[in-house]
């Protein structure tokens, strides 16, 4: 095979940086799902350096063996055996350090189903600054990228795509030209960190994808039917299905006993319990959706005061999914519960052991990254080996900590507990005498819904009147000029400002909640001039038009065209 006799199809000018080229290539190899929506994830194996003749023999060796494997797990388990056996079969004179590096990549569709057609042989040529992608097995199935070889090279400040002369269909070529190459060029010019932690590194990607696909089909629509929380159902349902899928694959076939501290809506407990695991969720207050779950879902209202006496000796796993103040205590709780109790933490808001907000120690890192280091240090003190992983969930906070094993013997459990006791007591006493701060079971409402209606109407009228007077009297309808929220706040007395801050988060929250009257943009406010809507929601049409009753020019629309009601 001559790697360089293919026809150049398209080229894109880019920055002159060979390191950035290989960095962008690494992103495409390790995170192909960033470009193709068909791909759920990938595994790749760096096999080593070979001569060109060895590459051809290795490719043929894969062709001879792939069809005998019945599943992706078979391939994952036997890949090292295939490589070792190939080394043994080749004459030693042919195995020499050469310009070609071999990588074997397994592409997984979103449902995780294995297909030999989605295995790729990747050949890096550092001498010619080129990389070649080959499918050792060709088939009639729908491929996730393309079924025929293609190469990407970098020379003269240009990315070049080359393909074989015949056989490449128009759709595949269009995707390579219009999607892959521009994305590589974009990555070269960005500061994207190609060495960032990949998703789901601690579990089998194809098992996760197939489990997620099954759980989503089983639970998503049924949960959506009885969802009665005010939060976004699609985000929370998808996120908890993904977390449950991760834990189920991590735990394997054995039934696990778990406790979910700060379980919130209880959705994770519901899914894990529905899949045969035995656990309980604990939170300081019940949610409306709790009553919709079947009887086998165990949820309990309780205020967990984290201390050295807070233990769950019967639990195999302690879960902290956005557990806030409890998060730094979970390694301590797990270590004191039993020698075999593990934990899973998905941190969100950072808190200290004393329940107060975490203060960053290392200013060269983000607060989130520094907090992960803080949690890992607590794990180390507890004698627990942990690993980080990045979950595939719709959230910006995706890093989790998973305990693996104890760093001490079971016979040293008592001495280790004494060491943990000293560490916790020292931390709490050295925090300036601050006592453990517990969250109130009653959720404080921070919006305008709980304020007195007469008070609200008075504030809204005063602000609207001030905005109207900010513009001169003209023949057209007066919507006023943009006025800064700071200037509007000065209209209120100090007592009123403090009252709004305590009750609804401040003046800006009040204005945004009256979006039918005010347009808030970039810290400034003006009146929102009514416009004709194509469809009038019935629920809105029942409300009175604020402008019709309060604006000096009345409403600029007729009752027929206004979204809100003019006359009783």
* pLDDT per position as a tens digit, 231-261: 888 889 999 999 999 999 999 989 999 999 9
Local structure of 557: helix, strand or coil: coil
pLDDT surpassing 50 at residue 527? yes
Q: How far is CA 63 from the centre of its chain?
A: 37
77 pLDDT exceeds 70? no
Non-local CB neighbours of 370 within 8 Å, separated by 6+ positions = 360, 361, 362
CA–CA dist 286, 415 (Å, integer)? 38
Poorest-pLDDT segment among 12-26, 401-415, 452-466, 503-517: 503-517
Using the structure block, give the residue that is written with the tokens 């026809």.
Answer: 7
223, 237 in Cβ contact below 8 A?
yes
Helix (H) or strand (E) holding 108: strand 100-109
Mapping DSSP to helix (H, G, I), strand (E, B) and coil, where does residue 146 land? coil
Task: Tell me if 326 sits within 8 A of 347, measured CB to CB.
Answer: no
Contacts of 329 (CB under 8 A, 6+ apart): 306, 310, 353
pLDDT average, residue stretch 202-219: 92
Beta bridge partners, 525, equal 483, 520
- Please check the confidence at residue 73 and state whether its pLDDT lies above 70: no
391 phi, psi to nearest 5 deg: -80, 155
The token pair at 139 is: 């088939």
* Per-residue pLDDT tens over the stretch 314-337: 999 999 999 999 999 999 999 999
Average pLDDT over residues 515-531: 89
- Phi/psi at 210 (nearest 5 deg)? -70, -40
Phi and psi of 444, rounded to 5°? -80, 125
According to the model, what pLDDT value does residue 505 have?
60
Q: Which residues on neighbouring strands pair with residue 246, listed in sequence order?
A: none
Helix axis angle, 72-89 to 205-226, nearest 10°: 170
Whole-structure pTM value: 0.73
Indicate the range of 101-105, 112-116, 279-283, 397-401 predicted with least confidence: 112-116
What is the pLDDT confidence band of residue 24, given thresholds at 50, 70 and 90?
A: very high
Four-point Cα dihedral 392, 200, 352, 317, nearest 10: 110
Is residue 128 pLDDT above 50, yes or no?
Answer: yes
As a whole number of angstroms, the distance between CA 100 and CA 472 comes to 75
Per the prediction, the chain carries an average pLDDT of 84
pLDDT at 1 exceeding the cut of 50: no
Does 470 score more than 50 pLDDT?
yes
Cα 129 from Cα 96, distance rounded (Å): 20
**Report for 134-138, 149-153, 225-229, 240-244: range of highest mean pLDDT:** 240-244
The answer to whether residue 295 scores a pLDDT higher than 80 is yes
The mean pLDDT value for 459-464 works out to: 89
Sign of CA dihedral 289, 253, 311, 329: negative
Q: Check: CB of residue 435 under 8 Å from CB of residue 307.
A: no
Mean pLDDT of 116-137: 84
pLDDT score recorded for residue 72: 66
List the single range of 3-7, 478-482, 492-496 with lowest mean pLDDT.
3-7
228: how many CB neighbours lie within 10 A of its CB? 10
% helix / strand / coil in the chain, to the nearest 5? 40, 20, 40
């Amino acid at each position: 095979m001559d790697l360089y006799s293919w026809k150049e199809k398209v080229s894109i000018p880019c920055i002159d940086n060979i390191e950035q080229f290989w960095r962008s290539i690494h992103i495409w190899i390790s995170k192909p799902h960033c470009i193709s929506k068909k791909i759920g994830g990938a595994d790749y194996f760096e096999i080593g350096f070979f001569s060109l003749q060895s590459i051809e023999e290795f490719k043929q060796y894969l062709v001879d063996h792939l069809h005998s494997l019945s599943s992706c797990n078979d391939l994952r388990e036997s890949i090292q055996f295939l490589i070792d056996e190939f080394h043994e079969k080749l004459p030693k004179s042919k195995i020499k350090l050469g310009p070609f590096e071999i990588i074997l990549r397994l592409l997984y569709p979103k449902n995780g189903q294995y297909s030999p057609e989605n295995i790729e042989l990747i050949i890096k040529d550092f001498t010619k600054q080129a990389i070649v992608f080959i499918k050792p097995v060709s088939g009639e199935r729908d491929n996730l990228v393309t079924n025929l070889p293609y190469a990407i090279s970098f020379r003269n400040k240009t990315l070049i795509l080359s393909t074989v002369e015949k056989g490449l269909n128009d759709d595949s070529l269009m995707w390579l030209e219009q999607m892959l190459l521009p994305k590589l060029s974009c990555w070269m010019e960005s500061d994207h960190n190609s060495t960032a932690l990949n998703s789901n590194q601690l579990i089998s990607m194809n098992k996760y994808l197939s489990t997620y696909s099954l759980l989503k089909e089983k639970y998503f629509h049924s949960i959506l039917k009885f969802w009665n929380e005010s939060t976004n159902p699609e985000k929370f349902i998808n996120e908890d299905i993904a977390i449950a899928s991760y834990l189920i694959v991590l735990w394997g076939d054995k039934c696990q006993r778990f406790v979910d501290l700060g379980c919130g809506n209880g959705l994770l407990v519901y899914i894990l319990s529905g899949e045969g695991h035995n656990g309980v969720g604990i939170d300081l207050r019940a949610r409306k959706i709790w009553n919709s779950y079947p009887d086998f879902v165990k949820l309990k209202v309780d205020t967990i005061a984290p201390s050295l006496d807070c233990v769950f000796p019967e639990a195999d796993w302690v879960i902290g999914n956005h557990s806030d103040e409890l998060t730094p205590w979970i390694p301590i709780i797990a270590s004191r519960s039993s020698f075999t109790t593990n934990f899973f933490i998905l941190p969100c808001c950072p808190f200290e052991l004393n329940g107060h907000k975490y203060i960053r120690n290392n200013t060269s890192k983000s607060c989130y990254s520094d907090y992960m280091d803080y949690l890992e240090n607590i794990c180390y003190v507890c004698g627990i080996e942990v690993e980080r992983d990045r979950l595939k969930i719709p959230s910006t906070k995706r890093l989790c900590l998973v305990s693996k094993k104890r760093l001490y013997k079971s016979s040293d459990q008592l001495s280790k507990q004494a060491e943990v006791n000293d560490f916790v007591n020292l931390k709490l006493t050295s925090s300036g005498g601050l006592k453990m701060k517990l969250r109130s079971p009653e959720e404080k409402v921070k919006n305008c819904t709980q304020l007195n209606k007469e008070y609200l109407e008075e504030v809204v009228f005063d602000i609207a009147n001030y905005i109207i007077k900010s513009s001169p009297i003209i023949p057209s309808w007066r919507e006023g000029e943009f006025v800064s929220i700071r200037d509007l706040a000065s209209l209120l007395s100090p007592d009123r400002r403090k009252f709004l801050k305590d009750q609804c988060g401040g003046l800006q929250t009040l204005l945004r909640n009256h979006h039918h009257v005010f347009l808030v943009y970039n810290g400034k406010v003006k009146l929102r001039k009514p416009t004709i809507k194509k469809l009038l929601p019935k629920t809105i049409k029942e409300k009175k038009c604020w402008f019709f009753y309060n604006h000096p020019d009345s409403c600029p629309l007729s009752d027929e065209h206004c979204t809100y009601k003019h006359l009783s």
